[in-house]
Structure 1
Amino acid sequence: MKVIRKSDFDDLVNGLIESDPREVVGVQDDGTKYVFKPLERAADLSLDYDVTMLSPKKYFFPQKERLVQYRESEDGYEMLRDWSSEGKIIVGVHPYDLIAIEQLDRIFIDTQQDEPYRRKRENSLLIGVNMQAVSEWSFAGSMGTAVTDSGFDLMLTDLEDRYAVEIGSRKGSKLLEESPVREATLEEVDEVERITDELPEKFEKGIEFPPEKLPSLLDENYDNMAVWDEYADGCLSCGTCNVICPTCYCFNVDVVDFITDDTGGTVRRWDGCLLEDFAAVAGGENFREETVQRHRHRLMRKGNYIYERFGDIACIGCGRCTQHCVADVADPAEIYNKLWRSTNA
């Protein structure tokens, strides 16, 4: 473990902004919320934030992205690849978002071999930060996602006038080569351990059972319509809980016939299972026409379906869906706890 003074870390970030060809983005306070956005200077960073509106997923899996472009020619159509390999340096990623990105890596890189995602992801560098403030909507402490030992290139822990820095990759180690860092003392190592050990206790919200029981709990309660109906009755099917989620990866592909006079292409956009037409197919059939079916599917997917396929519980407890649900029916912790109580009454 290394230690760097905060002023020297600011110099490091400012140097990256000035000289690295990749865009440097970080968590900033825009006056109403915390957001990941391009940095103009290190002083704009707000590393003591609670939660950002959107996760850094948007840099690897954008809301709108051109996948393929084709051009009309004398011989028909010529396919043009339009895969951006532009990576980012992202500063200030919380552990739960790092865990979410690792889940997306298993889906987009290991399973789907998605080239646009892979190029952006592998050309990026992630600087994490252990939480100082905890969102009132978050329950990451009970989901085991408040801390992580993987998924980052560097991980910062605030020690007043300095940061303890854990190196997670060769890219992270190389980044520190020109910076005035030193080895952490035993006292500093102990302080970091104390901070991370106490982090889960900061969360007021939580699930009332071990998260490893969630897949079987949902499986047992698939037909517990009393609970599903209770929350679905207020659902507006707006899809906010889907698009705000760091682990949702569904998308729709639109064919753009002509971008210019002789070129066209395909564009993918975020999609979500709470939207009414998500499960609609040719012939007018909709496999989840009712709101309660879509509402249940979202919770089943997070805690059961993804686990069965990839071994991951896709709810990281960030609380964004709860915070931004205007109908106040999206809180996974509340729903999971109600299922748990009804099963164990």
Structure 2
Amino acid sequence: MKIVSKIDFETFVNDLINEDYREVIGVQSKDSHYVFDELEKAEDLELNYDVTILPPKKYMMPQKEAILEYERSDKDFSLEPLLEIEPRIIIGIHPYDLIAIQQMDKIFSDTYEDEYYLNRRKKCVLIGVNMQNVSDRSFAASMGTATTETGYDLMLTNLEKNYAVEVGSSKGSDLLEEVTTRNASPEEVENVEKVKKNIEEKFDKELKFSPEELPTLLEENYGNMEFWEKNSEDCYSCGTCNLVCPTCYCFDMKDMNEITLDTGRRVRQWDGCMLEEFALVAAGENFREDRAERYRHRFMRKGRYIYNRYGDIACVGCGRCASQCIPDIADPSRIYNELKGE
């Protein structure tokens, strides 16, 4: 563990911003909310935030991206993949988002490797930060995601005038050479552990049972349509809960052609299982047309389907879905606790 003064860290971030060959992203305050965005200066960086609107996955899996383009003539047809990826440093990622990124890494490396996601991921340096403030809708402590020992290149912990820095990779170690540090004292190491322990005591919301019970609980309640219909009654099918989730990865592909059909692009954009047309297939068949079925699918996907395939509970307890849901029916902790109660 290393120690860097906050003054030196600010200088370090400004130096990174002034390097033209990589983009520096950090958490910033905008219109009373927190967002990940490109940093123009270090003083804009907010590391004491509670939660951002969107997770940092948007830098590995953009909301919308062109993945190839084509050009056609009478004599020729060319198809060109679009894979321009620039190095990027992301500063200020909370542990639950780091754990979500690790889940995404598994998914996009499985069976068919997604070179677009993986190339961006390889060129990212992830600098995490242990939480100082907690969102009132978050229950990360119950999900075991309030702290993490993996998934970061560097991890910061606030210690008044300094940051304690834990190194998680060779990329992080190389980057740390660009700033003045010293070794942490035994007392500072102990203080970091106290900070991590105190974080878990800041959460008001909780899952009232072990997350390990979720797959079985959901399997037993798959056919409990009365429960799913009752809780989905006010759902707008807007898909916001999908779009703000750090572990949702579904996307749609569209070919955007010029009217002459001589040129065009294939575009990938985020999609969500709560949208009415998500499960619409050929001939107009929709195999998840009912709102309650879509609602059930979302919770099954978080607590059962991904677990069955990868061994991960795909809800990290960040609370974004609950915060952004207009009718306030998306809170996983409430739904899972009610199911357990029944």
**TM-score of the two chains, using structure 2 as the length reference:** 0.97
The match for 1:271 is 271
Task: Give the C-alpha shift of residue 225 in structure 1.
Answer: 2.0
Residue 60 of structure 1 aligns with which residue?
Answer: 60
Q: Distance in 1 between matches of 2:175 and 2:338?
A: 47
Instruction: Give the CA deviation at 1:20.
Output: 4.7
Cα separation, 1, equivalents of 2:98 and 2:111: 19
Aligned ranges 1:1-345 → 2 under 5 Å: 1-258=1-258, 262-342=262-342
Q: Is the 8 A contact 2:137 2:323 kept in 1?
A: yes
The more displaced of 153-162 and 223-232 is 223-232
Question: Quick one: which amino acid aligns to residue 45 of structure 1?
Answer: L
Taking only the aligned residue pairs, the percentage that are identical comes to: 56
8 Å contact kept, 1:27–1:34: yes
Deviations 1:310-338 (A, max 9, x none): 11111000000000000111000000000
Residue pair 2:279, 2:289 contacting (<8 A) in 1 also: yes
Shift of 1:22: 1.2
Query: Which AA in structure 2 matches 1:157?
Result: T
Distance 2:168 2:245 in 1: 25
Matched residue SS, 2:284: coil
Q: CA deviation at 1:87?
A: 3.0
Contact 2:33 2:53 in 1 (8 A): yes
> Take 1:252 and 1:273, find their aligned partners in 2: how far apart are those partners?
11
Give the Cα separation in 2 of the matches to 1:11 and 1:260. 53
Structure 1: tracts of 5 or more residues without a match: none
1:37 corresponds to which letter in structure 2? D
- Structure 2 letter corresponding to 1:117: Y
Q: CA deviation at 1:10?
A: 0.6
Helix, strand or coil at the partner of 1:50: coil
CA distances 1:267-293 after superposition (whole Å, capped 9, x unpaired): 011000000011111112111111000
The CA RMSD over aligned residues, in Å, is 1.3
> What is the deviation of 1:178?
2.7
Say if 1:4 and 1:110 are closer, same or farther in 2 by CA, change over 3 A: farther
Secondary structure of the residue that 1:19 maps to in structure 2?
coil
- Separation (CA, whole Å) in 2 of partners of 1:103 and 1:321: 18
Task: Give the secondary structure class of the aligned counterpart of 1:283.
Answer: helix
- Cα pair 1:84 1:120 within 8 Å, conserved: no
Query: Shift of the alpha carbon at 1:74?
Result: 4.7
Deviations 1:238-297 (A, max 9, x none): 000001101000000001113998421200110000000111111121111110000000
Q: CA deviation at 1:88?
A: 1.5
Contact 1:84/1:119 (CA < 8 Å) preserved in 2? no
- Partner secondary structure for residue 7 of structure 1: helix
> How far is 1:176 from its partner?
1.1
- Choose 11-20 or 66-75, whichever is displaced more: 66-75
Q: Give the secondary-structure state (helix, strand or coil) at the position aligned to 1:178.
A: coil
Q: Does the Cα contact within 8 Å between 2:21 and 2:87 map onto a contact in 1?
A: no
Quickly say closer, same or farther: Cα 1:38–1:170, change in 2 above 3 A.
same
Counterpart of 1:17, as a letter, is I
Q: CA offset at residue 26 of structure 1?
A: 0.3
CA contact (8 A) 1:87 1:121 kept: no
Q: Which moved more, 1:199-208 or 1:72-81?
A: 72-81
Q: Distance in 2 between matches of 1:69 and 1:247?
A: 28
Contact 1:67/1:82, CA 8 A, preserved across alignment: yes
Residues 257, 161 of structure 1: CA spacing in aligned structure 2 closer, same or farther, 3 A cutoff?
same
- Per mean C-alpha deviation after superposition, the further-off stretch among 165-174 and 18-27 is 18-27
CA distance in 2, matches of 1:189, 1:260: 65
Q: Contact (CA 8 Å) 1:227, 1:338: kept in 2 or not?
A: no
- Distance verdict in 2 for CA 1:10–1:260, change over 3 Å: farther
The SS at the match of 2:156 is strand
1:109 positional shift? 2.6
Cα separation, partners in 2 of 1:260 and 1:245, compared to 1, 3 Å: farther
SS at match of 1:103: helix
Q: What secondary structure is seen at the aligned counterpart in 2 of 1:100?
A: helix
SS in 2 for 1:158: strand
Cα pair 1:87 1:119 within 8 Å, conserved? no
Amino acid at match of 2:323: Q
User: How many pairs does the alignment contain?
Assistant: 342
**Structure 1 CA distance, aligned partners of 2:261 and 2:16?**
40
The answer on whether the counterparts of 1:91 and 1:128 sit within 8 Å (CA) in structure 2 is yes
